[in-house]
């Protein structure tokens, strides 16, 4: 396994004009673990620049899956991985142990997050915000490349201007790379890029793209992240929502158009939320791969 410097996301980003990366999630309890490995076989064949693995809100079992999958991606496919890590429900001691485990497994990229507050879990009290986790990682494991989340339409509890300042805090605390929340109107992302540049946030910002798969997912997105839907998107959903395959195809086309426009506007990275659906990312990859390779040539 190649690890350390060569696998760090900020290095990869520095050496490329544009990066194209994927997000996967560990299998939920009771779902067959095999399917994630089958998915990964297909996703890795699409040669993303790196694959990030989400982290559940709850306990160590889930975090262990994040660790296992992150290290598996590097060992099996030689593709750099990034482990998501949330802090709101964790003690400093626990986070230290996770960082040690990640490093012991060659995982040197972490997406440092607060995590969502859940009514059934009392926050551990050691961390209130992602910026505190970022500072903690920077102080305790400076060899780790830290990424952080940013919000083209503001965080659901915050607001655009407040969250741009939060982004600056995260940068000042040690975040070297950002991945955005999903959005369907690229103008939100361009506004974020402009404000970040004004605030001298000198880090790569990847655009998080979520292809629409079905109606339930759209409803979940609104309640979880509060993103807005442009007229064009709304019309598309209305038109095709009664036919699963038609909506899926329209969603792939929409994501392809969104990415094409982002690439034309000098966006430095695309992070595709694959939802563990390799057949969907495969089509999007086919549609945009030539452009990404052309820009990096």
Check: CB of residue 173 under 8 Å from CB of residue 138.
yes
> Which residue numbers are catalytic?
23
Q: Would you put residue 30 in left (φ > 0), alpha (ψ -120 to 50) or beta? A: left
**Of residues 65, 84, 177, 188, which one binds ligand FAD by CB under 6 A?**
84
Q: Contact between 157 and ligand FAD (CB under 6 A)? A: yes
- The residue among 21 and 74 lying less far from ligand FAD, judged by its C-beta, is 21
- The residue among 73 and 250 lying less far from ligand FAD, judged by its C-beta, is 73
Q: Contact between 158 and ligand FAD (CB under 6 A)? A: yes
- Rounded CA-CA distance 122/65 in Å is 22
- Rounded CA-CA distance 215/122 in Å is 32
**Of residues 5, 38, 41, 116, which one binds ligand FAD by CB under 6 A?**
116
Check: CB of residue 155 under 8 Å from CB of residue 166.
yes
- Rounded CA-CA distance 60/92 in Å is 14
Q: Contact between 269 and ligand FAD (CB under 6 A)? A: no
Nearest approach in angstroms of CB 210 to ligand FAD is 10
* Site mask for ligand FAD (CB under 6 A), range 125-144, x = bound: ----xxx-------------
**Of residues 26, 27, 48, 115, which one binds ligand FAD by CB under 6 A?**
115
Window contacting ligand FAD (CB under 6 A); options: 123-131, 211-219, 231-239, 262-270: 123-131
| Main-chain dihedrals φ then ψ at residue 180, nearest 5 degrees | -90, 155
Check: CB of residue 105 under 8 Å from CB of residue 70.
yes
Nearest approach in angstroms of CB 159 to ligand FAD is 7
- Rounded CA-CA distance 24/190 in Å is 25
9-28 positions binding ligand FAD, by CB under 6 A: none
Range list of H helices, 174-275: 186-198, 215-225, 231-240, 244-264
Q: Contact between 221 and ligand FAD (CB under 6 A)? A: no
- Rounded CA-CA distance 239/284 in Å is 21
User: Is residue 105 within a helix (H) or strand (E), and if so which, with residue range?
Assistant: none
Q: Contact between 57 and ligand FAD (CB under 6 A)? A: yes
Q: Contact between 80 and ligand FAD (CB under 6 A)? A: no
Which residues of this protein are in contact with ligand FAD, per CB under 6 A? 54-55, 57, 84, 86, 111, 113-116, 129-131, 149, 155, 157-158, 162-163, 166, 179, 181, 208
């Amino acid at each position: 396994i190649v690890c350390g410097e060569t696998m760090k996301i900020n290095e990869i980003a520095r050496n490329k004009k544009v990066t194209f990366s994927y997000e996967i999630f560990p299998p939920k309890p009771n779902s067959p673990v095999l399917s994630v490995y089958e998915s990964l076989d297909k996703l890795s064949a699409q040669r993303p620049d790196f694959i990030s693995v989400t982290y559940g809100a709850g306990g160590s079992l889930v975090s262990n899956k994040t660790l296992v999958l992150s290290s598996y991606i590097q060992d099996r496919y030689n593709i750099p991985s990034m482990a998501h890590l949330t802090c709101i429900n964790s003690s400093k001691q626990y986070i230290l142990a996770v960082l040690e485990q990640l490093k012991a497994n060659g995982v040197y990229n972490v997406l440092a997050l607060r995590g969502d507050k859940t009514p059934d879990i009392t926050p551990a009290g050691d961390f209130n915000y992602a910026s505190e986790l970022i500072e903690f990682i920077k102080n305790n494991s400076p060899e780790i490349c830290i990424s952080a989340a940013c919000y083209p339409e503001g965080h659901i509890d915050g607001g655009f201007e407040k969250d741009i300042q939060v982004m600056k805090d995260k940068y000042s605390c040690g975040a070297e790379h950002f991945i955005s929340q999903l959005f369907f109107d690229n103008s939100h992302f361009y506004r974020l890029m402009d404000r970040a540049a004004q605030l001298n946030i000198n880090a790569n910002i990847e655009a998080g793209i979520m292809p629409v798969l079905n109606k339930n997912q759209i409803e979940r997105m609104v309640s979880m992240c509060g993103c807005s839907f442009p007229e064009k998107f709304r019309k598309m959903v209305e038109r095709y929502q009664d036919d699963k395959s038609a909506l899926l195809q329209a969603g792939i086309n929409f994501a392809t158009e969104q990415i094409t426009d982002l690439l034309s506007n000098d966006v430095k990275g695309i992070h595709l939320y694959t939802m563990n659906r390799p057949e969907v990312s495969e089509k999007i990859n086919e549609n945009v791969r030539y452009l990404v390779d052309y820009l990096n040539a």
